[in-house]
Amino acid sequence: MNTAGAQLRVSAARAVHQVLQGRSLKAVLAQERTAFADGRDRALLEAMTVGTIRHRRSLEFALGRFLSKPLAQSEPLSHALLLVGLTQLHLLMLAPHAAVSATVEAARELGKAAHAGLINAVLRRSQREGLPVSDDIGIHENHPDWLLTRLRADWPEAWADIVAANNRVAPLWLRIPGAAQQRDASAAQLQAQGIAHRISEIAPQAIRIDDAIAPTQLPGWLEGRVAVQDLSAQLPAIALAVKAGETVWDMCAAPGGKSAQLLEAAPAMLLLTDNEADRLPKIKELFARLGFAEDAAALQTLDATQPLPESLPQQFDAILLDAPCSATGIIRRQPDVKWHRREKDIGTLNTLQWRLLKNAWRHLRPGGRLLYSTCSVLKAENESLIAQFLQQHADAKALPLDARFGRVSGVGRQRMPGEDDGDGFFYALLERNV
């Protein structure tokens, strides 16, 4: 009896069930992986859980063909365990006997012994027959219908590439703080340790790691010479191009990766804000690891849609608004976004983005720059929103961004998920006329 293997499947089924109930995949995995000390077990748990969520629609379709009546409502844990079982056999290609045996044992561990025979039969049948495939594009492409409709309308030439990228595993990207010499030194250390990597030609501090490795195991991690940050997420700070001595506001700062980039530019004052107090410690933790002084920036919990309190500076030379969004550009990293996000959410997000943008403009000095970015690929949150803002603000003009920032999208630029192995991001650089 493979008790350890069964426990992994138990945790994966619990995680999948919780995500399907609306919980964050990242939060659930963080909770479930604590039961396993071995990095290989943690990696398998993540692969089973993330793979199931990523390909949920096609797995649900196949399961519906194998079952005479659905389990989802009456027995959600057994249903989740079946999905995990199909993922092991048909996506991860694990050894069939061990995978089926451990999954059946997991049913007993979950107190679902009555379903052990059914789970065994379904998984064995799927081995013999393969997974049924649907002609429905939403099921086949593992995206909700509403999102596919939006993507096809916004990006008629690129939507299929976006969907394909969303269904792939994202690589690990690092940012190496400091000048080019630091990145060269880090690359040399990676080379010496046999860690496959690639230096980006787009972001001067970016390195992609090709091997599956925990960031904490990378050379330079403990010394603060390495930070995890996607290629596309490194570009907003580059676009804003903060100069030494400027006053800067990072409006939605947590978890702090972009804030650290801004701080390296030596601004005279850097204000970091977030509307959730429990997110600010993450910024402090990152800054401490990277070697910044505790008072290097001012951290505040506040609602950035409202005017800043008089105790804080009222005018800034540069503002970074990395706005809350649908996260449709980072689905390959967070596949639960596909199932948690609803079309009606876009209008709510638009209202929030508009209020943040208006308040940012209130606090931008004449001649100052504002960089608006999102990790969305939907034009309603990006190109259309900025076009509306420019139409209503005669004192605003767009500044050009070069091809590093992606394809032209209105006055901004859009990077698609998977392009240069980066996430999907939108960027628009605005200047307030004097």
Token duo for residue 416:
């698609």
Cβ-contact 159, 331 below 8 angstroms: no
CA dihedral 60, 64, 66, 71 (to 10 degrees): 90
Half-sphere exposure at residue 62, Cβ-oriented, CA atoms within 13 angstroms: 26
Count the helix, strand and coil residues of the chain and give each as a percent rounded to the nearest 5: 50, 15, 35
Residues 375, 378, 401, 411: which is the catalytic one?
375
Residues whose CB is less than 8 angstroms from the CB of residue 92 and which lie 6 or more positions away in sequence, other chains included: 47, 48, 51
Q: Which of 61, 52, 123, 57 is nearest to 91 (CA)?
A: 52
Does the annotation count 252 as an active-site position? no
Q: Which amino acid is at 120?
A: N
Q: Is 312 exposed, middle or buried (0-12, 13-18, 19+ CB in 10 A)?
A: middle
The H-or-E segment that residue 87 falls in is helix 76-90
Residues whose CB is less than 8 angstroms from the CB of residue 297 and which lie 6 or more positions away in sequence, other chains included: 259, 263, 270, 271, 272, 287
Q: What angle do CA 178, 318, 345 make, to 5 degrees?
A: 100
The H-or-E segment that residue 253 falls in is none
Q: What's the rounded Cα separation, in Å, for the pair 3 and 69? A: 30
Q: What's the rounded Cα separation, in Å, for the pair 385 and 149? A: 19
Tell me which DSSP letter residue 200 carries: -
Token duo for residue 153:
């309308």
Tell me which DSSP letter residue 68 carries: S
Q: What's the rounded Cα separation, in Å, for the pair 264 and 229? A: 15
Which residues participate in catalysis according to the annotation? 375
